[in-house]
Structure 1
Amino acid sequence: MTKTQLNVRIDNELDSRLAALAKRTGRTKSFYTVEAIKEFLEEHEDYFVAKDSLAEFQNSGEAAIDMEEIDWDNTSQ
Structure 2
Amino acid sequence: MPTSIRLEPEIEARLDALAARTGRTKAYYLRELIANGLGDLEDYYTAVEVSERIRRGEEKTYPLEEVIRDLGLDD
The one-letter amino acid of 1:71's match is: I
Q: Work out which of the residue numbers 26, 40, 63 in structure 2 matches 1:29.
A: 26
Query: What residue is the counterpart of 2:58 in the other structure?
Result: 59
Confirm or deny that 1:10 pairs with 2:7. yes
Q: 1:43 to 1:70 in 2, by over 3 A?
A: same
Q: 1:18 to 1:68 in 2, by over 3 A?
A: same
Q: Provide runs of 4+ in structure 1 moved above 4 Å.
A: 72-75
User: What 5-or-longer segments of structure 2 have no aligned partner?
Assistant: none
RMSD: 2.9
Q: Post-superposition shift, 1:74?
A: 5.0
User: What 5-or-longer segments of structure 1 have no aligned partner?
Assistant: none
**What is the TM-score normalised by the length of structure 1?**
0.61
The one-letter amino acid of 1:59's match is: E
Q: Work out which of the residue numbers 51, 62, 66 in structure 2 matches 1:69.
A: 66
Residue identity (%) = 33
Q: 1:47 to 1:19 in 2, by over 3 A?
A: same
**What is the TM-score normalised by the length of structure 2?**
0.62
- How many angstroms apart in 2 are the aligned matches of 1:9 and 1:27? 20
